[in-house]
Amino acid sequence: MRTQRWGCLALGAGLALAPALALGNTGSGDDHTQVGKASWYGREHAGHRTASGEAYDPEGLTAAHRTLPLGTVIEVSAHGQVVRVRVNDRGPFVKGRVLDLSAAAARVLGLDRTGTAVVNIRPTGAVCPANRACDAAPQMVAEAGSP
């Protein structure tokens, strides 16, 4: 019985780590994208610990997502702009929202003026460890390893 319970947990953990399954199919034929409302969190949260353990930096290009693995690099687009951010926190915890962006990422997309916007989210396939710059090419970021 104990083995069966652990087997179920392992299967569940594997599914949670699959970006395609975590994001779901939007019906566009691309299983790796998600469309939904995003918001942003500001300077009042600066220094608070994120789910990854690092301190929130409003000037970092980071985001909070409910299910994507921490460290996943995603492209977020809205208002004709695109920004690459690293998932380092969990949330948002407001009904109807799929992503919370850092202040810097919100500025790039124009969300700092509107507060919220419908965004397209696409995982790049790259993973960037906590407290590391993620501005390298996706293949370089993925090969960077842990700090």
Domain topology for 34-127: Barwin-like endoglucanases (2.40.40)
103 residue type, one letter: A
Higher pLDDT, 117 or 2: 117
For residue 127, list its beta bridge partners: 72
- To the question of pTM greater than 0.85 for the whole model, the response is no
CB 117 within 8 A of CB 91: no
**6-15 average pLDDT score:** 36
Write the pLDDT tens digit of every residue in 74-101.
999 999 999 999 999 999 999 999 999 9
Percent of the chain residues topping a pLDDT of 90: 56
